[in-house]
Every structure is written in C-alpha cells, then in structure tokens.
Amino acid sequence: MTKCIMDHDTNRQNHGRTLDIQLPKYGRITKAERRAHGFNAEHKIHPIAETKKVIISEGDFLQGTRRDTYGHFTIVNNPDRTISVLEPGHSGGCQNQIKSTVMETSKHKSCIVAVNAGFFDPRPGNVCLGILDMMVGMCLAKKRVFERNKE
C-alpha cells in the first residue's frame, strides 16, 4: 500500500479515522477506517445480515416460454460498520495480480456473507482498473473493517 496521509485525528465518537490513501497526483479519495459491527454492545444490530432466496420468472408458463432465474438477496444492518472490500487472496493481491475465488478470500477473513461485486478489466494481464482494487468480495467481517482504495 502506498503512503497514507492523515486528514483528521481519531474521532473518539466512532472510534475511527479518515485517511487519504491515494497519491495526490491522482486526486485524493478519502476512505474511512472504523471498528467493525458489534465492536461493543451499543453498536450491535441483530441480525447482522439476512439472506433470502429469490426467483424471478419471465415469459408464459402455458406457452412454454417461462424462464426462472434464481438468486440471493441480502439485507445488511448497519452497513457502514459491516461491509469491507477485500483484495483477492490477501493484502497486495491486486498489485501481485493474484486470482482467487470469493470463497477462498472470504474464508481467510471469517466472513459471514461474501459476494462477487468486483470492478476489473477482463483482458489478460489487466486485473485492476486505475485506483480500484479487484473487489473479489464484500465481506461482512466478524472483527475489523477496513475500506481501502489504492493507486
């Protein structure tokens, strides 16, 4: 990760800090580091996340043109303290062009729910786009949340 520039001091109310984590020549983008959901009892909201199955039907059953699409719908309580963006595999995975499945990456971070919500360039040799990490998983972490954006 490149040099971090502190913008604000630690905020005692939210136990977090705000960082500029992109080189100034690219224009600064501010991200925040906060304690994870459930860090203490006053911030805990149950359930942390609730996932439901969905079926979307298109076409007409009687005419034989009906098609069903199956999926999952997840509602996250307190997403500001719950969702984190992970690099593939581990820290430095984007820079090192590591390819990893959502399941492999989420297992290392003890995720409750993980989804493929990535921004990436599918052409060979182009894993990351500009300042974006290849976001292999948005992890509902049990412990600490760190949102990151790199050059």
How many Cβ atoms are within 10 Å of 135's Cβ, its own excluded?
A: 20
The structure's pTM equals: 0.44
What's the domain count of the chain?
Answer: 1
Residue 151 belongs to a domain: no
* Token duo for residue 112: 């409750």
User: Is 96 within the bounds of a domain?
Assistant: yes
The alpha-helical segments, DSSP class H, found in the chain are 102-108
- Residues with Cβ within 8 Å of 60's Cβ and at least 6 positions away in sequence, in order, are 66
pLDDT block averages, 10 residues each, the chain of length 151? 35 42 52 57 70 87 88 77 71 73 77 68 54 37 36 33
Domain that holds residue 125: 5-146
Please say whether the beta carbons of 82 and 48 come within 8 A: yes
